[in-house]
Amino acid sequence: MNVQALRDIATTTDPLWDAVREEAARTTREEPILASFLHATLLNHRDLGSALSFTLANKLGGSIVPPMVVREIIEEAIASAPALLDAVRADLRAVRERDPACPGYAVPLLYFKGFQAIQAYRVAHALWTHGREALALFLQARISEVYSVDIHPAARIGHGILLDHATGLVVGETAIIEDNVSILQGVTLGGTGKETGDRHPKVRAGVLIGANATVLGNIEIGTGAKIGAGSVVLDRVPPHCTVVGVPARVVCRCRDQEPARSMDHHIEG
């Protein structure tokens, strides 16, 4: 399916996109000075994919590869991977539900660089899986420059991801992040040296990773685990356990089944 065919598909019901437009329309009434901006970024678009491609292209485009070309790349990626927009919606809901600083759906779409960075990664990943590695690596470099987020396009990331603040995030080539994971700024999911092959962490569903935590090697962070801020994790973390320290050690069981959803960074006694 080409880009034009995607645009020609009749718009289906999308409650989340309806909510975005309602929020944007309300803001134009409350702050008329933003009316032109909100029409250009949201209200003039027929669906979520169109609005997202416009915003990302204007962030990632430049003098050498202009925004118009980047937008075509993004829309082609969406057309080649229809499930991509399902992930976008799940991520948008995750931000709205878990981040107390988020007043609605339009704000992260327009302003939150963690949300924008992971959607740009999703485009790069779609390109990578379709054999367009050079273009995917170009986007990775631009994402790193614009958002200070470095995610290898070969990494596999699920739905419902919250990158809170996101600055300084590094995710290696063979890393896996499953559904409904929350990660704060400064986190590294990296290797331990010059090993090759499968060498990066596997983060299972529902995990919460605190700010500036470092997780190294082909190790598993079990379902519903919690990693305390500033920890250095070098060994497997059992499911539903909290680890802290340098090197990290298990200190207790998690009170919540999915710490990523509660966003409670306290260490349970």
The least confident of 83-87, 190-194, 248-252 is 190-194
Whether residues 59 and 2 fall in one domain:
yes
CA atoms within 13 A on the CB side of 169: 28
**What residues have CB less than 8 Å from 64, skipping those under 6 apart?**
none
Task: State residue 8's pLDDT score.
Answer: 46
Q: How confident is the model at residue 196 (pLDDT cuts 50, 70, 90)?
A: confident
Domain shared by 139 and 19, yes or no: yes
* Rg (alpha carbons) of the chain, rounded to whole number: 19
268 pLDDT more than 90: no
Residue 51 pLDDT = 97
Q: State yes or no: pLDDT of 236 exceeds 60.
A: yes
Phi-psi bin for 194: left (phi > 0), alpha (psi -120 to 50), beta? alpha
- Can you give the pLDDT at residue 2? 53
- Range from 11-15, 31-35, 177-181, 221-225 carrying the lowest mean pLDDT: 11-15
Q: Average pLDDT of the chain?
A: 94
pLDDT in tens, 109-154: 999 999 999 999 999 999 999 999 999 999 999 999 999 999 999 9
pLDDT band at residue 11 using 50, 70 and 90 as cut-offs: very low
- Picking from 120, 149, 178, the residue at the C-terminal end of a domain is 149
Co-location of 87 and 185 in the same domain: no
What are the φ and ψ backbone dihedral angles of 140, each rounded to 5 degrees? -55, -45
CA-nearest of 248, 249, 267, 251 to 259 is 267
Confidence of residue 183 (pLDDT cuts 50, 70, 90): very high
Cross-strand partners of 237: 221
Residue 122 contacts residue 87 (beta carbons within 8 Å): yes
**Measuring CA to CA, how many Å separate 58 from each of 134, 145, 146, 157, 164?**
21, 14, 11, 24, 22
Instruction: Tell whether 102 and 235 lie within a shared domain.
Output: no
Q: How much is the pLDDT for 269?
A: 59
What are the tokens at 44?
Answer: 């003039």
**How far is residue 38 CA from its own chain's centroid?**
23
Same domain, 178 and 244: yes
Domain that holds residue 267: 155-269
Alpha-carbon distance values, 29 to 21, 26, 51, 192 (Å): 13, 5, 20, 53
CATH code for the domain in which residue 118 is found: 1.10.3130.10
Q: What is the pTM of this model?
A: 0.92
- 180 shares its domain with 234: yes
Task: Order across the sheet with 182-184: list the strands.
Answer: 162-164, 182-184, 208-209, 226-227, 241-244, 249-253
Helices (H), the chain: 3-8, 15-30, 35-38, 48-60, 67-80, 84-98, 106-111, 113-129, 133-147, 259-262
